[in-house]
Amino acid sequence: MTNIRTLLISLCILLTAGCASVPTDPAAAAVYHESNDPWESFNRKIFAFNMAADEYALRPVVNGYRAVTTVGFRSKVRTFLNNLKTPLTIVNDVLQLNFKNAGTDLSRFIINSTLGFFGIYDIAGKMGLPSNSQDFGTTMAVWNVPSGPYLVLPFLGPSSVRDASGLVGDVFLDPVFYAGRGSDNQDVKRGFWVIDGVNVLTSYESVVDLLDEGKKNSLDFYAFMRSMYQQHRKKTVDRAKGIGDSGKQQNDYDFSLDDEEEE
Amino acid sequence: MKKLLTILFCFISLTFHAVAAEQAEVEKFAKDLADDIIKNVVLAKVPLQQKQDAFRKSFLAAINLKTTARFTLGRYAKTAQPEQLQAYTDALADNIVCTWANRFNDYAGGALSPDIVSFVSTRQNENGDFYVTSKLKLPNSENDIEMIWRVSDKKGKLKLADLIVEGVSMLISYRNEYTAILQQNGGDIPALTEMLEKKNAVLKKTSGKSA
C-alpha cells in the first residue's frame, strides 16, 4: 500500500514538473489550448522511449513475424482476434445504451464463431453486418466524461487520461478475460496468455506502416502523432454518439475557412 | 391565394432543383479529381517524378493554395510578411505534392483496380461547403477507408477545401503540426519554411516505406 502511495506521489511530482505553463503570446496560447497537452515535455520523453523501444525491441519482432507469415495469414489472425474482442464491444454497446449495435455485434459474434470457424472468417461482414469496435474509453466519452489531457503511455503510445483509465476498465469488463483467467485449467490460462501476446503483436503489426509513413513525412513526428490520435479518437467518439451520421450535429472538421482568408 | 401557393411551389421547386444541380456538379468535381489521380498517379506505370508532376497538375489546380497555406499557419499567418507567406506557400505546395503523390504511389504496390474509390453520399454544411463521402478499398485491408472531399464554391468556382480520411483532416493535421513547431520556435515562419524545404528535398527523391 505504501509502495503504491509512493508511486502515485512520484508520478504526480513528475507530471507537475513536466507541466508547461500557458504561453502569453496569443498565437502560442491558441496552440497550447488546441493541443490539450500540458504534460508535453513529459510526454515527449515517453514518446522518445517508445520510439527507441520500437526500433530495438518491437520492430525486429514485427519484421520476424512478417518474414514467416503471409499477408493472408496475418489477416486471418486479425479477424480471429477481432472476433474475440466482440464480447467486450457488446458489453460497451450495452453500457452506451446502444442496443441496436449490441444486437448486431452479438449476431456477428455468433455467426463468425460458428460459420466463420471460430472467427477466422468474417462471414457476418459478408452478410452485411458491419464490424464495430468499442472500448470503455469511448463508453466514458458517450457518458460525457471529458478526455482530460493528452497522455503518451509507455509502449502503448498516444492516449488521454480518460482513454488510459478506459484500458483498465476494459480488462475488467471483458468476458473473455474472465473465461480465460478464471479457468481452473492451467493450459487454458496459458493459451490466453499466448493470445494476449499475439494480440499485441498483430495490433502493432497493423500500424507500423502508418507509423513509418508518418515518421517519413512529418517535420515533428510527436506533434503529428498527437494530432492523428486526437482527430481519429474524436471521430470514434462522434460515431459512438451518432454525431455526423445524420448531420444533426457538426463534425470537428466542419470548421470555417473564412477566418483564414486573406483580408 | 391559389396564385400565391403556385408562386411558392415554383420557388421551392426551383430552389430544390438548383441545390440538386449544384450537388451533382460537386459530386462530379470530386469524382473527376479522384479518377484523374487514380489514372495518372496510382495506376500509371511511370517513374515517381512523373507521378509527382501529374499530381501537382491536378491537385494544386483543385485546391485554393493561398487559403490552405494561411489556414495551416493558424494565428501565426496574421503576423507573417507577404514574402514569408509566399515562400511558405511554395514549400507547402511542394510538400503536399510529394507527400500525397508518394502515398498514392505506395498504394500502387498492391493489386488495385480503377474503382477503388466509390462515392457514397453528399451533404452541405451551414457554411455552404459540400462534403462528398467516398469509400476507399485497399487490397489487404479488412475495412473500407472513409474519405471525405470537402468542396467549396467560391465565386462560382469549385475548389477542394480539405480531404478528411477516417476523421483526420488534412488541413487540421498540417495546422496542428506546423503551429506546434512555430510555438516552439517563437513563431519563426522562415525557419519552418526551411524545415519544409529540407524535408521536400528528401521526399522528392524517395517513395516506399522509408526515406
DSSP code per residue over B113-176: -TT-EEEEEEEE-TTS-EEEEEEE--TT-SSPEEEEEEEEEETTEEEEEEEEETTEEHHHHHHH
pLDDT value of residue A181: 72
Q: Mean pLDDT, to the nearest integer, of B80-108? A: 89
Residue B34 to residue B126: CA distance in whole angstroms = 25
Q: Mean pLDDT, to the nearest integer, of B93-101? A: 91
Partner A contacted by B133 (CB < 8 A): no
Tell me, what amino acid is at B60? L
Instruction: Flag if B172 and A227 touch (Cβ within 8 Å).
Output: yes
pLDDT value of residue B109: 59
pLDDT value of residue A222: 97
Chain A residues with CB under 8 Å of B76 CB are 27
How many percent of chain A have pLDDT more than 70? 85
Partner A contacted by B143 (CB < 8 A): yes
- Pick from A23, A35, A261: which is nearest to B176 by CB? A35
User: In this structure, is residue B210 part of a structural domain?
Assistant: no
**Per-residue pLDDT tens for A100-158?**
999 999 999 999 999 998 889 999 998 989 888 999 999 999 999 999 999 999 999 99
Asked if pLDDT for residue B51 goes beyond 70, the answer is: yes
User: In this structure, is residue B211 part of a structural domain?
Assistant: no
Residue A14 to residue B173: CA distance in whole angstroms = 29
Which residues have CB under 8 Å from A119's CB, separation 6+? Answer: A79, A80, A81, A82, A83, A84, A112, A113
Percentages (nearest 5) of helix, strand, coil residues in chain B: 60, 20, 20
Of the candidates A181, A139, A145, A162, the one whose C-alpha atom is nearest the C-alpha of residue A229 is: A162
Higher-scoring residue by pLDDT: B20, B196: B196
Q: Which of residues 39-78 of B touch A (CB under 8 A)?
A: 66-67, 70-71, 74-78
pLDDT value of residue B15: 52
The pLDDT confidence band at residue B27, using thresholds 50, 70 and 90, is very high
Partner A contacted by B23 (CB < 8 A): no
pLDDT value of residue A2: 46
- Pick from A35, A213, A257: which is nearest to B180 by CB? A35
Q: What is the ipTM of this complex?
A: 0.84
Q: Which residue of A has its CA nearest to B99?
A: A217
pLDDT value of residue A14: 52
Q: Mean pLDDT, to the nearest integer, of A205-223? A: 93
Residue B99's CATH number:
3.10.450.710
Higher-scoring residue by pLDDT: B126, A150: A150
User: In this structure, is residue B195 part of a structural domain?
Assistant: yes
Partner B contacted by A184 (CB < 8 A): no
pLDDT value of residue A25: 82
- Pick from B76, B176, B195: which is nearest to A34 by CB? B176
Q: Which residue of A has its CA nearest to B193?
A: A219
Q: Which residue of A has its CA nearest to B165?
A: A232
Asked if pLDDT for residue A6 goes beyond 60, the answer is: no
Asked if pLDDT for residue B187 goes beyond 50, the answer is: yes
Q: Which residue of A has its CA nearest to B95?
A: A217
How many percent of chain A have pLDDT more than 90? 58
- Centre a 10 Å sphere on the Cβ of residue B186 and count the other Cβ atoms it contains: 9
Partner A contacted by B25 (CB < 8 A): no
Count of structural domains within chain B: 1
pLDDT value of residue A262: 44
Of the candidates B184, B167, B46, the one whose C-alpha atom is nearest the C-alpha of residue B105 is: B46
**Per-residue pLDDT tens for A65-86?**
999 999 889 999 999 999 999 9
User: In this structure, is residue B173 part of a structural domain?
Assistant: yes
A263 to chain B nearest CA, in Å?
A: 9
Decide the pairing of beta strands A157-160 and A150-153: antiparallel
B164 to chain A nearest CA, in Å?
A: 8
pLDDT value of residue B206: 74
Instruction: Flag if A235 and B173 touch (Cβ within 8 Å).
Output: no
What element of type H or E holds B209?
Answer: none
Asked if pLDDT for residue B201 goes beyond 90, the answer is: yes
Q: Mean pLDDT, to the nearest integer, of B29-47? A: 88
- Pick from A26, A209, A217: which is nearest to B75 by CB? A26
> Cβ distance B93 to B100 under 8 Å?
no
pLDDT value of residue B13: 55
B32 to chain A nearest CA, in Å?
A: 23
pLDDT value of residue A21: 78
Partner A contacted by B82 (CB < 8 A): no
> Which range among A65-69, B139-143, B164-168, B198-202 shows the weakest confidence by mean pLDDT?
B139-143
Q: Residue B123 belongs to what domain range?
A: 2-205
Sheet holding B145-154, edge to edge: B117-124, B130-136, B145-154, B157-165, B168-169
Instruction: Flag if A216 and B209 touch (Cβ within 8 Å).
Output: yes
pLDDT value of residue B95: 95
User: In this structure, is residue B26 part of a structural domain?
Assistant: yes
Cell output for A220: 515533428
The pLDDT confidence band at residue B128, using thresholds 50, 70 and 90, is confident
Q: Mean pLDDT, to the nearest integer, of A78-103? A: 94
Among B147, B173, B179, B183, the strongest candidate for a mutation testing the A interface, having the largest count of A CBs within 10 A, is B183
What element of type H or E holds A184?
Answer: none
User: In this structure, is residue B60 part of a structural domain?
Assistant: yes
Asked if pLDDT for residue B139 goes beyond 80, the answer is: no
pLDDT value of residue A183: 77
> Which range among A61-65, A95-99, A189-193 shows the weakest confidence by mean pLDDT?
A189-193
pLDDT value of residue A246: 47
Q: For B23, what's the count of Cα atoms within 13 Å in the CB-facing half-sphere?
A: 16
Q: For B1, what's the count of Cα atoms within 13 Å in the CB-facing half-sphere?
A: 0
Partner B contacted by A28 (CB < 8 A): yes
Q: Which residue of B has its CA nearest to A256?
A: B127
Partner B contacted by A238 (CB < 8 A): yes
Cα torsion B39, B31, B69, A217 to 10°: value is -50
Cell output for A156: 502503448
The pLDDT confidence band at residue A263, using thresholds 50, 70 and 90, is very low
Instruction: Flag if B168 and A228 touch (Cβ within 8 Å).
Output: yes
Q: Mean pLDDT, to the nearest integer, of A36-59? A: 95
